[in-house]
């Protein structure tokens, strides 16, 4: 089964109260597709990049729980996308364990693609992040 993950993260202040969010979709119909499930994760005080990774990790765990084998992963964080692809090194010590966790999770999928999308196309995941922050 192939699904799409839209993942995002945000912090109010950098660092500040932070959350990650992800939306799991069937890639059919209008963008982003038919929403299958979603998750919001509050992580306390963190950086925006930590929150971005949290959204990705949450989405990957959600996909694994649904027994998804193939993924199209879409994020508006160019940094996270390029770090996952190996185009950028992970330098920040707080991001290294998050990056490693994401790589371990990605190794459970038969096939995946990961790409950077404009912020405007990631509004479903951004909405989950903001709702999660608002509820704290």
pTM for this predicted structure: 0.97
Instruction: Return the closest-CA partner of residue 48 out of 11, 86, 93.
Output: 11
**What average pLDDT does range 77-87 have in this prediction?**
98
pLDDT band at 32 (very low <50, low <70, confident <90, very high): very high
**What average pLDDT does range 27-53 have in this prediction?**
96
Using the predicted structure, report yes or no on whether residue 50 has a pLDDT greater than 80: yes
Using the predicted structure, report yes or no on whether residue 62 has a pLDDT greater than 90: yes
Domain that holds residue 60: 2-134
> What domain count does the chain have?
1
Which pLDDT value is given to residue 69? 95
* CATH number, residue 111: 3.30.420.10
CA dist 75 to 57, 93, 135, Å?
12, 22, 23
Which pLDDT value is given to residue 78? 97
Instruction: Enumerate the β-bridge partners of residue 22.
Output: 7, 39
């Amino acid at each position: 089964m192939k699904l799409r993950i839209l993942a995002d993260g945000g912090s109010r202040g950098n660092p500040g109260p932070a959350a990650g969010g992800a939306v799991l979709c069937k890639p059919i119909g209008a963008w982003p597709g038919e929403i299958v499930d979603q998750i919001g994760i509050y992580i306390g005080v963190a950086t925006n990049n930590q929150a971005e990774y949290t959204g990705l990790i949450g989405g990957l765990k959600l996909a694994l729980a649904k027994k998804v084998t193939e993924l199209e992963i879409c994020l508006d964080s160019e940094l996270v996308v390029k770090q996952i692809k190996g185009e950028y090194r992970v330098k920040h010590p707080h991001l290294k364990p998050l990056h490693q966790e994401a790589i371990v999770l990605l190794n459970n999928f038969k096939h995946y693609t990961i790409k950077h999308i404009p912020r405007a196309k990631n509004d479903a995941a951004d909405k989950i992040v903001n709702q999660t922050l608002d509820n704290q």
